[in-house]
Amino acid sequence: MTDNILISHEPASGEEVWRGPLGDVDAAVSAARRAWAPWAARALTDRIALLRGFANTVRRDSDMLADLIAREAGKPLWEARNEIDSVVARIDIAVQAYAERTGKKKLDSGVGASAALRHKPHGVMAVIGPFNFPAHIPCGHIIPALIAGNAVVFKPSEKTPAVGEALVAAFHRAGVPEDVIQCVIGGPEEGKALVAHPGIDGVLFTGSAQAGIAINRKLAANPGKIVALEMGGNNPVVVTDTPKLADAAALIVQSAFTTAGQRCTSARRLIVVESVYDALMAELVPLARKLMVGHPLGEPQPFMGPVIDNETADRLTESFVALLTAGGRPLLHMRRTVPDLPFLSPGIIDVTDVPERPDIELFGPLLQVIRVPDLDTAITEANNTRFGLSASLIGGSPEDYGRFWANIRAGIINWNAPTNGASSKAPFGGVGLSGNHRPAAYYAADYCAYPVASNEMDQPRATVMIGVRP
């Protein structure tokens, strides 16, 4: 970012993808405030029809958008295409969620009167998106917000501005008014200005715990702004007795290394009951070693592309070395596979003997392994974190899973399934440093409109019965 110009580069090649001026937060918020009331006054059916048009626009431009995501975010093309499919599917899910969770209701009342529950939009919502799902995650906020009647000012990650700009252009081509959904390009300073702007009625954020905590602190004295924080996780996979160790290894690989480990639900810790440790490692390490790391548009398609930039790759390799220095035992060394570019091979390290394991989100393909004697100890170890987003149990009996489910602190708890790949038809969020109890996905409708209770009569009818002089 130089001289008020933002430039993004392909992680896989270092080549420039996009450049453009920083956005004007004040101008965008002012335009959104003017546009909000007419948009909210439109019939719900009209808003939904325009958003279905957006889905058709994205479907028509899917090849272009997937190619852009692959190049700018560094995702393999197969994964970028899956992201676009998720954006298209989001419309029907959001419409159903709005009807179910914020629809109109008639309530019981007295004779000649009625009571009702309806929902109103908040106003102008700021959506701050991440780089790892630069289309799908922002749309998880934007689409429910627009359906509810809000206007939106969207700041994409400074690492994926081209995708953000293309996404908003697709809304406009579908007929959503330009001032109702706007893209403000910028970095942390523009994000801070948007959060603090008095014309913003809500902040919908996806990103790091550090940034989310800063937003929460900034708005702590302003309860009038709705704040939904989706942050990261130090997510555990627990493996107990199972005869299907090859399947277990595949689930672990999917959890830890999909998207080069750059998902908030990616597994960071593998907690293994001692009785299956050796046999599991004999399956896991060779499988992880076989994963193809390559250019997102390469053929054959790789399992993993690069991490987002060289700075991230440097931090991850330094973290691997730090864990080794602290007493970790390498099971699969993390390596830079291409000089001067952020391609990393998967890293697996046994940290059982590390006395103070860091409770941080290492956002990349680095998996820490911890050996434990039994499932109860594994559950305790899994909860040894300030985060609480996603957790999975692999193996065990239904009773084991019941104990696991009852005692794990997380917003997403799976059995014999990866930690990632959550359904948009369910709530998505966590506890602790992972979120503020405002889950996204299907429950996004809850924070995009507020409930209004009404008691109603067609004519005033009342008397004062007590305490009145004759």
Within a domain: 101: yes
Q: Which residues is 453 bridged to in the sheet?
A: 117
For residues 302 and 375, membership in a common domain is answered with: yes
How much is the pLDDT for 213? Answer: 96
Sequence-distant (≥ 6) Cβ neighbours of residue 459 within 8 angstroms:
none
Mean pLDDT computed over 315-343: 97
Indicate whether 203 and 243 sit together in one domain. no
Q: Establish if 469 belongs to a structural domain.
A: no
Residues 268, 322 within the same domain: yes
Lowest model confidence (mean pLDDT) among 176-190, 235-249, 268-282, 449-463: 449-463
Per-residue pLDDT, 2 = 64
Same domain, 198 and 271: no
Instruction: Kindly state whether residue 424 falls inside one of the protein's structural domains.
Output: no
Show the beta-strand stretches assigned E in 274-382: 329-332, 347-350, 366-372
Closest CA to 181 of 206, 152, 144: 152
Judge if 69 and 135 occupy the same domain.
yes
Q: Please give the residue range of the domain that contains residue 388.
A: 235-415
Residues 139 and 220 in one domain: yes
Let me know whether 217 and 315 are in one domain: no
Report residue 104's pLDDT band, with 50, 70 and 90 as the boundaries: confident
pLDDT value of position 105: 87
- The arithmetic mean of pLDDT across residues 369-388, rounded, is 98
Quote the pLDDT of residue 163. 98
- Write down the pLDDT at residue 348: 98
Mean pLDDT of the chain: 96
Asked whether the predicted pLDDT for residue 36 surpasses 80, the reply is yes
Q: What pLDDT, on the 0 to 100 scale, is given for residue 465?
A: 86
Enter the DSSP assignment of 303: S
Would you say residue 221 has pLDDT above 70? yes
Q: With a cut of 80, say whether residue 109 has pLDDT above it.
A: no
Residue-wise pLDDT tens digits, 285-306: 999 999 999 999 999 999 999 9
Q: Which residues pair with 321 in a beta bridge?
A: none
How confident is the model over 386-437, as pLDDT tens digits? Answer: 999 999 999 999 999 999 999 999 999 999 999 998 889 999 999 999 999 9
How far apart (Å, rounded) are the C-alpha atoms in residues 42 and 46?
Answer: 7
Please, which pLDDT band fits residue 1 given cuts at 50, 70 and 90?
A: low
User: Among 72, 83, 158, 230, which one carries the catalytic annotation?
Assistant: 230
Assess if residue 16 is contained within a domain: yes
| Residue 428 domain flag | no
| Chain center to CA of 13 | 26
**pTM of this prediction exceeds 0.85:** yes
Number of domains within the chain: 2
- The pLDDT of residue 62: 98
Do the domain assignments include residue 466?
A: no
- In this structure, of 114-118, 195-199, 346-350, the range with the lowest mean pLDDT score is 114-118
Alpha-helical (H) ranges within 243-299 are 245-257, 274-290
Whether residue 189 is found in the same domain as residue 306: no
**What percent of the chain clears pLDDT 90, i.e. is strictly above it?**
93
pLDDT of 92 strictly over 90: yes
Contacts of 289 (CB under 8 A, 6+ apart): 332, 346
**pLDDT surpassing 80 at residue 110:** no
**What are the phi and psi torsion angles at 117 (to 5°)?**
-120, 125
247 Cβ contact partners less than 8 Å away, ≥ 6 residues apart: none
Average pLDDT over residues 366-375: 98
Indicate if 349 and 444 belong to the same structural domain: no
Write the CATH number for 149.
3.40.605.10
pLDDT above 70 coverage of the chain, percent: 99
Q: State the pLDDT at residue 422.
A: 85
Candidates 72, 139, 183, 264; catalytic one: 264
Quick check: is 430 in a domain? no
Predicted confidence at residue 114, as pLDDT, reads: 86
Closest C-alpha among 180, 336, 348 to residue 257:
348
**CATH code assigned at 398:** 3.40.309.10
User: For residue 151, what are the β-bridge partners?
Assistant: 124
- Phi first, then psi, for residue 336 (nearest 5°) are -80, 115
Position 53 in a domain: yes
* For residues 307-316, average pLDDT: 98
Tokens of 211: 């940034």
Provide the terminal-to-terminal Cα distance of the chain, rounded to the nearest Å: 78
Tell whether 219 and 358 lie within a shared domain: no
pLDDT for 353 beyond 90? yes
Tell me whether residue 230 is one of the annotated catalytic residues: yes
Q: Is 183 considered catalytic here?
A: no
Residues β-bridged to residue 203? 126, 227
Predicted pLDDT of residue 459 = 86
Model pLDDT, residue 380: 98
Statement to judge: residues 240 and 227 lie in one domain: no
Joined together, the tokens standing for residue 261 give 């480990």
Q: Are residues 101 and 197 in the same domain?
A: yes
